[in-house]
Amino acid sequence: MKLIHKLFLVALMFSVSACQMFDLDLLDNPNEATQADASIDDLYNNVQINFKNFLSDMWYSTASLPRMISNTSSYQYATAFSPESFNTIWYRAYASLLPDIDATIEASAARSLGFYSGTAKVMKSYVLSSLVDLFGDVPYSEYGQGTDIIAPANDQGSSLYATADGLLDEAIAEITAYTSSQKPNDNFYGGSNAKWITAAKSLKLRLALNTRLVDGSAGSKIAALVNGGDIIDQTSEDLQFNFGNTRTNPNSRHWLYNDAYENGDPQYQSTYYMWLLRAEKADADGIVTIDPRLRFYFYRQTDKPSDNPNDWSCHFSELPTLADRPDYYTAIDPNMPYCIPSDDGFWGRDHLNSEGIPPDGNLRTAIGVYPAGGQFDDNSFSATKKLGTTGGLGKGIAPILLASYVDFMRAEAALTANTGEDARSLLESGVRKSIDKVIAFKGLVPATMSRVVSTRDGESTVEALYVPDADDIQKYVEFVLARYDAASDKLDVVMKEYFIALFGDGLDAYNMYRRTGKPNNMAPALENNPGPFIRSFLYPANNVNLNSSASQKSLTVQVFWDNNPADFVY
């Protein structure tokens, strides 16, 4: 795409008076914006902002299908999302983000700024592969041609994955060769060549893992990347978008903080997902090992269930009660929660519960200090709607590819793609890295951590009372490893822990579920027989309605790397 296309509107601003200001016999068109006129730093900053917004656009749809958050759109998969649901992400990708990236790459090439173009290609690779993961075949080779091609045809998903992989190779080469000190305001790695290169190689591993069902060489590709020794394996290398804490001019806070801690009610958390952390790990005597990340992921506004039926949307009963749990819940897991994961204030919704909204805004469990920079659950049980003045003030992260994720991916590959690694040790490493990263978010709320609390034994701080210590973490790790050792389906144990660690990254949870069918025994839809699971999303209305080359598809169409049976997931 020509850079001039991105700057066309700027040129128009001057065109009215240009004839009066310039000699029309000049050989150079005075109305034409050139590459030299463009601010590369402004372009690059816009790419980062739109990339962050692209991550936000994907969140609800991808996180709600694998039960990371509750899907409250419908009782049926077929009507959970409409074509209009994806207009924003489509417009952002094709009308803003990809053109900005291409303009950045072109301007960088003209000025020998390989860091700008290389890192932009990393983001472009992620966007292209994500569009495939969401929709399957999408336009690329014919997009952005202006009036030359007004109805771009789809490219095959497999070819776009290959393009995404090639972009990462180009990025690695350009960033490696770049020695200039001129760098943009880099919201990911602060201008570190080495970390961007490590991230690009790790994203290649992610692409290879996603294609392992259709690519017999995926295991060897992953092994080669691991043996190369330059992949994300420590949290200092994590690929994440880092949010700020300013409320206005501009609002730099995490989008989920803006949702839950300003004027709106918190998004419904998933009853099933909260149960995974709060009560799922029980031994034969019923003693529960609580996940060390629980109080960081979730903030409770109440400490007990309401006794007012008008506050609830339990569907099969007025108040939460296992006696009214549907039989198909029990058939999946006799301990499967219905309506409420526990009786100590965790308040969410079941999968595909689209009942009306009761007056429960001040009761719902909100997202916590991780990853959104919200509040740490310190048993204060106060409302979250306080005009953005509490918790970590939204200074969270959008996790894209973390060291813990890479460990879990390698463990999956060891169990399924013959990479020769020790899946058990990678499982342990992934769990520990995830817990350590999450607990480090206590640094966002120092006043909360130091708050003094009265107890039966005297006084203590919130940190001493509620932040897990080394013994708590060790107990959790030992439970997971014992479960792994005893499991006939070891992949299920790995994927469950990966799923828990993924909180904040809906896309990889959605991909993992379609790729592996794990974790086993997922919570069912609230109503029995919700229809077939969404294997890829409907094309956006603004594509189908305005592009004569486009036609709508079924929700059961599987992306190219998903060759699992039609009823593989539910």
Residue 182: name the closest of 242, 111, 110 by CA. Answer: 111
Three-state SS annotation for 312-367 = CCCCCCCCCCHHHCCHHHHHHCCCCCECECCCCCCCCECCCCCCCCCCCCCCCCEE
Assess contact for 99 and 145: CB atoms under 8 A: no
Range(s) of the chain covered by CATH 1.25.40.390 = 39-231+538-544
> Do the strands 452-455 and 397-401 form a parallel or antiparallel pair, or are they unpaired?
unpaired
Residue 489 Cα to chain centre, angstroms: 26
235, amino acid identity: T
Task: Give me the pLDDT at residue 8, please.
Answer: 34
Q: What CATH number belongs to 39-231+538-544? A: 1.25.40.390
Instruction: Please give the chain's pLDDT, 570 residues, in tens.
Output: 444 444 333 332 223 333 332 232 333 444 334 455 569 999 999 999 999 999 999 999 999 999 999 999 999 999 999 999 999 999 999 999 999 999 999 999 999 999 999 999 999 999 999 999 999 999 999 998 888 899 999 999 999 999 999 999 999 999 999 999 999 999 999 999 999 999 999 999 999 999 999 999 999 999 999 999 999 999 999 999 999 999 999 999 999 999 999 999 999 999 999 999 999 999 999 999 999 999 999 999 999 889 999 999 999 999 998 889 999 999 999 999 999 999 999 999 999 999 989 999 999 999 999 999 999 999 999 999 999 999 999 999 999 999 999 999 999 999 999 999 999 999 999 999 999 999 999 999 999 999 999 888 889 999 999 999 999 999 999 999 999 999 999 999 999 999 999 999 999 999 999 999 999 999 999 999 999 999 999 999 999 999 999 999 999 999 999 999 999 999
Query: Residue 137: its pLDDT value, please?
Result: 98
For residue 58, what are its two tokens?
Answer: 């994907």
The residue among 403, 493, 410 whose CA lies nearest residue 219 is 410
Q: Whole-angstrom Cα distance, residue 24 to residue 18?
A: 9
pLDDT of residue 38: 63
Question: Whole-model pTM?
Answer: 0.93
Task: Express each pLDDT in 380-438 by its tens digit.
Answer: 999 999 999 999 999 999 999 999 999 999 999 999 999 999 999 999 999 999 999 99
- Please give the pLDDT value at position 25: 34
